[in-house]
Amino acid sequence: MRYVRITIVLLPLFFLALVLVPIGYSQDSSILKIAYTQKDIATDPFADVWNDATPIIIELTDQEITEPFGGKHLPIEVRGLHNGKSIGFLIEWADSTRDTKVTGNAFTDGAALQFPINLKEETDPFMGGPGLVNIWFWRADWQGDLDDGTEYLDTKYPPYPGYYFPQDKQVFLKEIKGGRLIKDSPVEDLVAQGFGTLERQKQQDVAGKGVYEKGKWRAAFVRPLVTNDQLDTQFKPGMDSKINFSVWDGADKNRDGEKSVSIDWVDVKIEDTK
Ligand SMILES: [Ca+2]
Ligand SMILES: [Ca+2]
């Protein structure tokens, strides 16, 4: 009798859920399919080519594994593409503020993708360990610097205690000229092997662009499928991989480990070249 009652209550909910799945979204949110396209994969996050991929929704949550905790529940829309030479990821999320400045009490928006480097090794979904992870970190402060030509922080270094910065100060300072960051990408290519081990790679391989429009960030990440850097994740058509996500909202004082995260690896399936 109790079973019948539960069925009566749950059945309408089941059909309601079917109706509520937005048209055009993949209904299997557990796998991110990297669709094959013959087109160039643009770093412009509003380029038509991104319509060749079907988005899925990943529910991020607040980071509550290690101090400093932070972040919030945040659904993000994710899609992926490859053309046999390059691979691209596009993510979009709601954010009521475009935070591109870093000062003593202002923090930047950002988003990061994380991949295991060796799929055969056990690799923790949060910053890796014991296996290495390759992290692609799109930074709204660098995007703002590229878009707006704003001054950067060579006069106030670091901008606030605990701010993540490339560990080798000289590597960073070499890239500053006249108070402006000399960069061609707002995406930083990083490697980590557990909390507190994040390091900028010597060889930067990831292009990208983030655009803020109508209360949302949309950020594209593009890289060759294969690089000659041992600290990069390598991809090939037909393979399975894994990905994890982080998002920072500067206005919510997010920085470093205070961020919204996906709680486990998301399976990735790279479509074979047709
Ligand atoms: Ca923000
Ligand atoms: Ca690299």
Whole-number Å distance, alpha carbon 97 to ligand 1 midpoint, is 4
- Domain boundaries of the chain, sorted by first residue: 32-270
Minimum mean pLDDT among 75-89, 112-126, 181-195, 209-223: which range? 181-195
For ligand 2, the distance from its centroid to the CA atom of residue 3, given in whole angstroms, is: 55
CATH class of 32-270: mainly beta
- CA 194 – CA 188 distance, rounded (Å): 18
CA 250 to ligand 2 centroid distance, Å: 26
Query: What ligand has the least distance to the C-alpha of 250?
Result: 1
Greater confidence (97 vs 164) lies with: 97
* Ligand 1 center–CA 108 separation, angstroms: 7
Alpha helices in the chain (DSSP H): 2-20, 140-148, 169-173
183 confidence band (pLDDT: 50, 70, 90):
low
pLDDT, greater one: 1 or 128: 128
What is the pLDDT confidence band of residue 182, given thresholds at 50, 70 and 90? low
Distance 190 CA to ligand 2 centre (A): 7
Distance 51 CA to ligand 1 centre (A): 25
The string of DSSP letters for 28-90 reads -TTEEEEEE-SS---S-TT-GGGGGS--EEEEEEEB-SSSSPB---EEEEEEEEE-SSEEEEE
The pLDDT value recorded for residue 29 is 62
Q: What is the mean pLDDT of residues 170-187?
A: 56
CA of 9 to the centre of ligand 2 (A): 53
Q: What is the pTM of this model?
A: 0.81
Question: Is residue 96 within 8 Å of 55, Cβ to Cβ?
Answer: no
Q: Which two tokens stand for residue 103?
A: 């000062």
Q: pLDDT tens digits, residue range 154-167?
A: 434 555 555 555 44
Coil/strand/helix, residue 17: helix
Q: What is the mean pLDDT of residues 184-208?
A: 90
Whole-number Å distance between alpha carbons of 157 and 203 = 24
pLDDT single digits (tens) 10-66: 444 444 444 444 445 554 567 999 999 999 999 999 999 999 999 999 999 988 777
